[in-house]
Amino acid sequence: MSERFDLIVIGAGPGGYVAAIRAAQLGKKVVCIDKRPALGGTCLNIGCIPSKALLDSSELYSLAQHRFARHGIQVGEVGLDLPAMLKRKDAVVKNLVDGLAYLFQKNGIQVVTGTAKLESPGRVTVQQFDGKTATLEGDAVLLATGSAPVIVPSLPYDGKHIVSSTEALNFEKVPEHLLVVGAGYIGLELGSVWARLGAKVTVLELLPRILPGMDAEIAGAVQKSLARQGLKFHLGTKVLGATVQGDQVVVRTQHDEKESEFQGDKVLVAVGRRPCTEGLGLKELGVATHERTGRVQVNESYQTSVPGIYAIGDLIDGPMLAHKAHEEGVAFAEKLAGKAAHVNYGAIPGVVYIWPEAATVGLSEEQVKEAGKPYRVGRFPFQASGRAIAMDETEGLAKVIADQATDRVLGVHIFGPRASDLIAEAVMALEFSASAEDIARICHAHPTLSEGLADAARAAYSGKAINLYLGR
Ligand code: NAI
């Protein structure tokens, strides 16, 4: 290719594809390289989207089995057609991958499939599948290669018995006993999927709690709820090693100096992700990375230590979340085009798509305490929400934390039905530096779950919720 580009994007995930589209919209000539023929990166192909497709399908299965009767719906015996469920998930992915290809085409973004390497700041070579090497030249290069599962030496992936999230999206049959190592986002979401479909699920977590980083009260409520759904938790448990024996894996663990063994037919290792920087030629070019995390260092314009080379998403600091990469993709492209843009890292929501859902934005109560800020908390249990009762979804609570002196909202944490949608209002509140009173005084439609958030905010600023008696 002898053309010259304004921007070469390496990686077509939610960071890279968004940056490519936004830059093209702003008049830049863009090429995007990805080693996967399907656009969309991990999120679309083997992450967020297929896991949500399975979470939604398995939740419907579970509702049909356990809850429809309470609504007066008789369905007879409910059966599982796992191949059909997996096929639907694949169709969902294909639909979105095709949509992205359409958007690229319409925006005039060229695509090169293959493995990219930086030769110099404006020069990238691409090793293509046909053995040919393409050389691309451009003014700016954006690294958006994302992340891959962390490898635990004592639990080497074999793709069959000891697996990562990729394989756990495609089990041919429901495992009898799925051992999940790591009680984070992936472990709980995929553990939920297979538990709902009939697997016995045991979660082994190193720390004494699940969902580290999330507000502890919410994480505790999540754990109780998942335990009621059948997941077994072993916290403070260190995995020492695993042995495959026929169709089974024996995982050796240690808890309080005591060693134990767990046997299952599948082990899902979900202990975090690491940035994908290997093979890009970063060291050779002197692109600085953080020693401990391996993440690429960038300035506020996402420029690395080498002018003309930029990085966003899971490669750089911050939560490894698709929507964080998305926002950085927009901000990067707008800055490149000379516009003002920024990402508010204090207002990035996090959602665990279990059921009920857990969603969070801003500071947890523990973080507020640690910062020594005097604060007030308001809570509202969905048990007291008219809409939640009508839905038969009364589990969970909304929790609003506000600064005691100014009433400014510091954090909002929701465990409850449709928390993933409810959190958007809280993100807006944080973005506009709203007070808890501001949230409470916004007119919320009745009957909606969002009234629960309003009443939690009312409880935070005034000590009283309308739909809950909290004392006189
Ligand atoms: P995570 O960081 O969410 O959780 C990993 C868990 O594993 C932690 O609880 C940690 O204490 C534990 N752990 C670490 N080493 C361990 C060991 N040796 N033995 C037992 N437990 C151990 O990582 P996860 O779930 O792998 O997800 C990776 C990334 O993907 C996360 O950054 C997450 O934000 C993102 N993600 C986000 C989703 C969402 O937004 N809904 C869904 C899936 C992934």
Residues 192 and 230 in one domain: yes
- Classify residue 470: in a domain, yes or no: no
Ligand 1 atom with the shortest distance to the CA of 211: 9
Per residue of the chain (472 residues), give pLDDT as tens: 557 999 999 999 999 999 999 999 999 999 999 999 999 999 999 999 999 999 999 999 999 999 999 999 999 999 999 999 999 999 999 999 999 999 999 999 999 999 999 999 999 999 998 899 999 999 999 999 999 999 999 999 999 999 999 999 999 999 999 999 999 999 999 999 999 999 999 999 999 999 999 999 999 999 999 999 999 999 999 999 999 999 999 999 999 999 999 999 999 999 999 999 999 999 999 999 999 999 999 999 999 999 999 999 999 999 999 999 999 999 999 999 999 999 999 999 999 999 999 999 999 999 999 999 999 999 999 999 999 999 999 999 999 999 999 999 999 999 999 999 999 999 999 999 999 999 999 999 999 999 999 999 999 999 999 999 888 7
Confirm if 305 and 287 have CB atoms less than 8 A apart: yes
Residues 201 and 313 in one domain: no
* Four-residue CA torsion sign, 191, 195, 198, 202: positive
Token couple for 148:
């891959």
Confirm if 270 and 187 have CB atoms less than 8 A apart: yes
As beta bridge partners, residue 260 has 253
DSSP code per residue over 244-284: EETTEEEEEEEETTEEEEEEESEEEE-S-EEE--TTS-HHH
- Classify residue 44: in a domain, yes or no: yes
Ligand 1 atom with the shortest distance to the CA of 48: 42
What is the rounded distance in angstroms from the CA atom of residue 299 to the CA atom of residue 35?
27
Nearest partner of 134 among 122, 142, 125, judged by Cα: 125
Could you tell me the CA-to-CA distances from 264 to 168, 209, 448 in Å, in that order?
A: 14, 22, 42
Ligand 1 atom with the shortest distance to the CA of 165: 26
Residues 279 and 364 in one domain: no
Residue finishing a domain among 297, 319, 343: 343
What is the rounded distance in angstroms from the CA atom of residue 309 to the CA atom of residue 118?
9
Nearest partner of 273 among 148, 360, 166, judged by Cα: 148
Asked about 326 being catalytic, the answer comes back as no
- The CATH number covering residue 306 comes to 3.50.50.60
Residues 404 and 456 in one domain: yes
For ligand 1, residues with CB inside 6 Å are 152, 181-187, 189, 204-207, 212, 239, 270-273, 319-321, 351-353
Number of domains, the chain: 3
Residues 18 and 137 in one domain: yes
Nearest CA to ligand 1 atom 43: 186
What is the rounded distance in angstroms from the CA atom of residue 358 to the CA atom of residue 372?
26
Residue finishing a domain among 271, 305, 334: 271
The pLDDT value recorded for residue 371 is 97
Q: Pairing between strand 110-113 and 258-264? A: unpaired
CA 413 to centroid of ligand 1, rounded, Å: 19
Residues 267 and 283 in one domain: no
Residues 352 and 449 in one domain: yes
Nearest CA to ligand 1 atom 30: 320
Print the domain residue range for 453: 348-462
- Classify residue 469: in a domain, yes or no: no
Residues 279 and 181 in one domain: no
Whole-model pTM?
0.97
- Classify residue 467: in a domain, yes or no: no
CA 211 to centroid of ligand 1, rounded, Å: 8
Residues 19 and 145 in one domain: yes
CA 203 to centroid of ligand 1, rounded, Å: 12
What is the rounded distance in angstroms from the CA atom of residue 214 to the CA atom of residue 352?
10
Residues 366 and 335 in one domain: no
